[in-house]
Amino acid sequence: MRGELNMERGKTILEVRNLKTHFRVGTEDISIVRGVSFSARQGETLAIVGESGCGKSVTVHSVMRLLPKNGRLAGGEALFFDGDTPRELHRLEPFGKEMRAIRGRKIGMIFQDPMASLNPVYRVGDQVAENLLQHFKLTKAEAKEKIIEMFASLGIPDPGRRILDYPHQFSGGMKQRVMIAIAMICNPDLLIADEPTTALDVTIQAQIMELMERLKREQRKAVILITHNMGLVAETADEVAVMYMGRIVERGRVERIFHNPSHPYTKALLRSVPVLGHGRAERLETIRGSTPSPAECVTGCEFANRCDFATTKCKTGTIPAYEVEGGHLARCVLFEGAKELPNE
């Protein structure tokens, strides 16, 4: 059952500890990801949720070593468990042989805008084949067979003909299925989906999410879902990490987060989205103040200037993560007194 503390929880595929990422803007180094820790397990979906600019996308790009030229990993570790061998992703050359052998083959990634994510001048079949043939020695015919199979299983009709088409001949939802095909063709253990449905219609959104859910369940994949949509989180996530300004402020099983939101930011977030069952008279609330820029937050809790519960203790020093209950943590002074979790 989803979320239940199951002794049979899947094994950990990816473990991230205290990851830090800096971006160089002009002459300054700006801290975007400020020490983030989480793990992804087989058969589970970890949702990393937060508003635009909180660093959730940069986090997974850091793990995949796909940061832009002005970004760099500044600390922490990212351990990928390939079989039983832990691979130190943070130590590998981003475009060296080892990392490239993992990207595409062991970790697949799909991105936000399917319109822009496919190369317009190549047939989609060739673009999927590129991933497959990079990592496996197959004949063109064998590859073609596998790709047609994949297209069919992803619900792309008439796959034999469609693999010869160009991206502009597909609708948005179909393009995203092609992206999923590219990401899954090598049967990776981990799938990272960076806002996969944000650019799609609501009905298509549902289809794509269901597709990913099926892949996760049937093939025991680990899935990391980046999103700002709490509705999606409620529907598909097993574990949730809430991010604000480069830190994880709360993390736990999805039911605990929704039934017992502990960090003031999480509470505010949940109050600001429409939820089925909301009373008619209840209003949606906005979070007061506006998102600060990363350069402004130097010390203390990043949420302090917008928080209804802020005290002087919140404005200085680093706030540690506290255990709210088993498997549920929150980074907030309100929980001072509870067990500190220094490695989070």
Partner 1 sequence: MLYYFMRKLLAIIPMLLLISVIVFVAIQFSPIDPVNYLASPDMAANSQNLQALRQLLGLNDPIYVRYIRWLGNMLHGNFGYSIVDGSSIAKLIAMKLPATFEISFAALIISTIFGIGIGILSAIKQNTFIDYLGRIIGVVGISIPQFFFGIILIQFFSIKLGWLPVGGRIELGYKTWWDHVPNMILPSLALGISMTAALLRYARNSMLDIMSKDFIKTARSKGIPEWKVYIKHAFRNALGPTLVILAFRLPILIGGSVMIEAVFSWPGIGAIILQGVSSSDYPVIMMTTLMIAAAMLIASFLVDLIMALLDPRIRFER
CA distance 295 to 272: 26
Q: Which stretch binds partner 1 (CB under 8 A): 83-91, 94-102, 204-212, 259-267?
A: 94-102
138 interacts with partner 1 by CB under 8 A: no
134 interacts with partner 1 by CB under 8 A: yes
Q: Pick the binder of partner 1 from 15, 82, 130, 235 (CB under 8 A).
A: 130
183 interacts with partner 1 by CB under 8 A: yes
CB atoms within 10 A of CB 229: 17
Both structure tokens of 285: 């609330």
* Residue written as token pair 């002459």: 27
Phi-psi category of 300—alpha, beta or left, where left has phi over 0 and alpha has psi -120 to 50? left
24 interacts with partner 1 by CB under 8 A: no
Give yes or no for a contact between 195 and 225, defined as CB atoms under 8 angstroms apart: no
* Minimum distance from residue 183 beta carbon to partner 1 (Å): 8
25 interacts with partner 1 by CB under 8 A: no
Give yes or no for a contact between 92 and 165, defined as CB atoms under 8 angstroms apart: no
124 interacts with partner 1 by CB under 8 A: no
Query: What is the bridge-based pairing of β-strands 222-227 and 190-194?
Result: parallel
Q: How many residues bind partner 1, per CB under 8 A? A: 30
119 interacts with partner 1 by CB under 8 A: yes
Q: Pick the binder of partner 1 from 9, 17, 20, 100 (CB under 8 A).
A: 100
Instruction: Mark residues 158-177: x for contact with partner 1 by CB under 8 A, - for none.
Output: --------x-xx--------
Both structure tokens of 168: 């502009």
Q: Of 201, 209, 247, 256, whose CA–CA distance to 231 is shortest?
A: 209
Q: Which stretch binds partner 1 (CB under 8 A): 17-25, 95-103, 218-226, 307-315?
A: 95-103
104 interacts with partner 1 by CB under 8 A: yes
The beta-strand segments (E) located in the chain are: 12-25, 28-41, 45-49, 71-82, 85-88, 107-110, 190-194, 222-227, 239-244, 247-253, 321-325, 328-330, 340-341
Residue partners of 188: CB distance under 8 A and separation at least 6 = 104, 105, 106, 107, 108, 221
Q: Pick the binder of partner 1 from 1, 27, 84, 120 (CB under 8 A).
A: 120
Instruction: Mark residues 280-299: x for contact with partner 1 by CB under 8 A, - for none.
Output: --------------------
131 interacts with partner 1 by CB under 8 A: yes
58 interacts with partner 1 by CB under 8 A: no
103 interacts with partner 1 by CB under 8 A: yes
Interface residue list for partner 1 (CB under 8 A): 64, 66, 95, 99-105, 108-109, 111, 113, 116-121, 130-131, 134-135, 166, 168-169, 179, 182-183
